[in-house]
Amino acid sequence: MHSGCRVIDLGCGTELELDEYFPLNPSAKVTGIDLASGMLNRLMNRYPEFC
């Protein structure tokens, strides 16, 4: 893990793993991609500061 690293998550769903990842690397830039718009809406509600 490097400060400011960029991560892409294909099929991200609601990104529950970010609850564990961001405390370890809070400056990471994560791009989540999912075909289900409902999952992306839940993700944006869960992490509005990153969307």
Domain assignment present for residue 42? The answer is: yes
Domain assignment present for residue 34? The answer is: yes
- pLDDT of the residue at 1: 65
* pTM for this model (two decimals): 0.68
The rounded distance, in Å, linking the Cα atoms of 7 and 25 is 11
Domain assignment present for residue 1? The answer is: no
Average pLDDT over residues 13-42: 86
Number of domain units in the chain: 1
In which band, very low, low, confident or very high, does the pLDDT at 35 lie, cut at 50, 70 and 90?
A: very high
41 lies in which domain range? 6-50
- pLDDT of the residue at 39: 86
Average pLDDT over residues 22-26: 87
Q: By the 8 A CB rule, do 32 and 43 touch?
A: yes
